[in-house]
Amino acid sequence: MADLDLSRVHPLFARQIECLQNADIAGLVETYHPEAVVVRFQGVLNGIDEIRETFGRYMDIAARYEELLEYTHTEDTIFVRAHMSVRGERELGFGAYVLRDGLIWRQVAGIEGGMRNWFAESAQAAESTETAGSAP
């Protein structure tokens, strides 16, 4: 994180990066509004519990910010494109955040490359486990 210049980013986004860099899922979840919704190509996350469960897996794949390529924000909206490292591989991530009551209320996010594939495979595995455990 020492290489990242966070001096001009929104304080809430700086907190998100700090939590991700330090594998602090509890702190990361605290940046989200109780009614938060996260829209991703892999599906929609509704509420804190789904966000905690899915983003907790970020810690398993060692997702980290490396470089902010483009960034802008207003009082209630953040827009970013960044290089990230995932399992040691460089990925391109992007997202937009809408804030309410000082917390992330709506987020649209995407990551190109292996992380995207990892989440798709992880979701399929979870679905298979649920199906296998249900009665015929």
DSSP state of 132: H
Average pLDDT of span 28-54: 95
Average pLDDT of span 40-62: 89
Structure tokens at 39: 């829209």
Q: End-to-end alpha-carbon separation of the chain, Å?
A: 50
Q: What is the DSSP string of 59-75?
A: HHTT-EEEEEEEEEE-S
The reply to whether the predicted model has a pTM over 0.95 is no
Q: How far apart are CA 69 and CA 92, in angstroms?
A: 9
- Residue 104 parent element (H or E): strand 103-112
Task: Answer for the pair 113, 85: CB distance below 8 angstroms, yes or no.
Answer: no
pLDDT at 89: 86
Chain segment 33-45, per-residue pLDDT in tens:
999 999 998 899 9
pLDDT at 123: 54
Provide the 3-class DSSP secondary structure of residue 78. strand
